[in-house]
Structures are given as structure tokens and as C-alpha cells.
Amino acid sequence: MNTDKKHIQHLAAICKAKGVSHAIVSPGSRCAPLIIAFNQMDGIECISVIDERSAGFVALGIAQQSKKVVALICTSGSATLNYAPALAEAFYQKVPLLVLSADRPNEWIDQGENQSINQFEVYKNYIKKSYQLPVHVETEKDLWYCNRIVAEALNTCLYPDFGPVHINIPLREPLYNLEETTVKQTKIIDRITMINSIKNITASQTSTVPPVLRFTVLGSPLEITSASTLTPLLVFFASEIGIDSDM
């Protein structure tokens, strides 16, 4: 049995597909869907550490030794702040950690609700990047958007340098609903990298109609006569400046 929140099922599946093998979890109600999904994911070992400050340093040690992204899962409110010392260490030591903080829906923030603080960018000065998943995930496009954020966050943990990244995850009740389902396949966005560097690029435009652009890339000729031919070149340049591409 798994959580009935599809985007959380996919989040755990993407983490596994991109090499996460350890998740350090601290008990809480709001993060129940996350803990359920990660416990159901074969290949990810969930380690329970009650105190979030201690959990942060357990994750830091595992990530230092394994050179792999380690996930940290906690409930909403001030629990998230207890990761700060370990994240500051991870930021300056360049250690890949992925914080997955459960949160209350946006409409309950700053309304005097228990265990609710403004969690987005709460680690702003000691994090590579902060993300927030949408509250409403109802359509396939919503799910694709969530998956894209998760994949980008995991890529950011590792490129161009290792470091901590935060995904804040607002979750509505009910939190404990289960269903018999398994994520069979989810699209994984990888960062495009080049094995060889550019040695030289030259371009000239001929007098033909439509124009033909002739390039020399890594010693091989390349002609551009249409948008479909241009796409691979755009992907190439995107990779050189560190942009994730799904062209």
C-alpha cells in the first residue's frame, strides 16, 4: 500500500531513479505521505532519527562518505529549522543533501495555525536553491510539473558542484489515505553534459534560399537548414552553459 498522493509517489520514484539510496526521516503527521512513499520504494533505506538536528548530521555523514544525494524528510513548522546547522556545513563543504520538508497549504500560513511558519527559502543563505511543489496536483500536466521540479532539484544537488537543495512540499489532509498502486514508469530529466570540449566553431552563410548555415564543430561539418536541425545545436549550447534541457 502506498500514499494516494500521486506526486509524492513519483517524487520517491525519481529519487530512486537518480541514485538516492538513503532517506533520513523524522516522525511527524504532515510528512506522513512522504514517509509512506519512501518506505514503499525498494532500493531506498529509510532511517528514522527522532531529532531533526541529529538527523541532519546523520545525513551529512552518509552523503560525505557515499558521495551520493541523501534525502532528509521532516514535518512542518520549526522542525525544518533544526536542519540548519547541518545544511550550513553541507553548503560550505559541498555535500549533496536534499531536504524534503512537508508544509501546510499556503492559505494556512501566517494564520496562527500550529506548526506553520514561512518555510519557502527558509535556508536562503546556506542552500544552493529552494523549490516549492504546488498544492494542487490533479492533471497529468500538474504531475509533469512536479516531476520536473524534483528532477531539477536533484540535478542541482550534484551540478556543477555538490551541495544542499530544499524542496518545500505543501500537503492537504487527508494525509494517511492509502491505495494499492506502484509507479511503473516516470520520465527522468537528466542534465546534458558534453564529453568533449569545443575545439573550434566557425559559421558562414551561403547565398542559397533558404539560407544554409555551415558550422565546424569538433572537426565535423554541420549544416542547418531547418528548425528541426537547429534543435540539437540548441541542446548542445544549453549543456555548455549548464541548463537542463528536454528538447
pLDDT in tens, 169-225: 999 999 999 999 878 667 777 765 444 444 344 444 444 445 555 555 555 566 655
- Nearest C-alpha neighbor of 102 from the set 16, 20, 11, 164: 11
Residue 205 to residue 211: CA distance in whole angstroms = 7
pTM, rounded to two decimals:
0.78
Mean pLDDT for all residues in the chain: 84
Q: Which tens digits make up the pLDDT trace of 79-131?
A: 999 999 999 999 999 999 999 999 999 887 878 777 778 999 999 999 999 99
Residue 226, pLDDT > 50, answer yes
Other CB atoms within 10 Å distance of the CB of residue 1:
10
3-state helix, strand, coil in the chain (%, to 5): 35, 20, 45
Helix axes 32-39, 6-17, angle to 10 degrees: 50
